[in-house]
Amino acid sequence: MEDDLKRSLRELISRTSSAQVHKALTDIFNEEYTFLHKLFGDTKKVKKSPPDTSAAQAVQVSEEVPVVDSAPSPSPSLATAVAPHRSERVRGDAKVIVMKEPPSPEDLLQTAQPPPVVHTESGFCDPKDLKKWQKEQEEKKANELKAAGVNPLTLLTEANLRKWIVDEKKTFSAIAREYIGLSDAIISIEAKKYGLQSETSKRRGLIKAAKIGR
């Protein structure tokens, strides 16, 4: 189970970044802590129910019963032993509230079992399988272009890249396997020539800029 959790976290980090995964976990913990604190904190506001007067009335009636003269009076020692017992009687309408400490973020981290992240198109969640599938798709596209007599590099024009990256919101990996048949590293280099960034690259840049500005 621990290996599956580590594998899932590594997949998340490879798809985004360590800082983004950490921030997402921190946000989840803060939300859970706030909710639980609010939920359990409200138990302190439980209204005290009105005392049950029926028990007191019953005691009052019993105390008004006349004492028979023939009954022997209790000895002083017996009266002393009974008196404290009556003072320690617990009311029938008393309520006992047990307060529980809200779980800490560390406990939530230990018990959290995030579901495996499955790649939408390939259906794989293991990074090794996903990398192998990506390579196969690139080779397949490269063979299609080669059979059609098309040089993949001629497709990396500014117009095409702008359409794929800006308009269609494609990642470099998607462009590599769907249009070019080359690695995403080559596409990234060509995109930088025209000042283009994928949505993933933009998010990573914002996170890096935020860290530097601290």
Q: Which pLDDT score is estimated for 10?
A: 82
The Cα-based distances of 26 to 19, 97, 127, 147 in angstroms read: 10, 31, 24, 50
Whole-number Å distance between alpha carbons of 155 and 174: 15
Average pLDDT by consecutive 10-residue portion of the chain (214 residues)? 77 83 87 85 54 51 46 49 48 64 62 59 73 92 95 94 93 93 92 87 64 66
Give the other-Cβ count within 10 Å of 182's Cβ: 20
